[in-house]
Amino acid sequence: MLAIFVVIGIEITLICGRSIARKVPINFILLAIFTFAESYMVSYISSYYAADNSDTVIMAGAGTVLITFACTLYACTTKTDFTMMGGMIWCLSMSLMMLALFSWIFAFNNFMYNAITALCIFLFGIFLIYDTQLIVGKGKHKLSLDDYIVGAMIIYLDIITIFLYLLQLLSRR
In this prediction, residue 52 carries a pLDDT of 75
| Position 31, amino acid | L
**Residues 6+ positions from 56 with CB-CB distance below 8 Å:** 49, 50, 167, 170, 171
In this prediction, residue 68 carries a pLDDT of 95
In this prediction, residue 82 carries a pLDDT of 84
In this prediction, residue 139 carries a pLDDT of 67
- Dist CA 127 CA 68 (whole Å): 11
Decide: 164 and 61 in contact? Cβ < 8 Å. Answer: no
In this prediction, residue 147 carries a pLDDT of 80
- Dist CA 158 CA 128 (whole Å): 6
Helix-helix angle 148-171:26-50, to 10 degrees: 0
The model carries a pTM of 0.89
pLDDT tens, residue by residue, 49-65 = 887 777 889 999 999 99
Positions of the chain with pLDDT lower than 50, given as ranges: 173
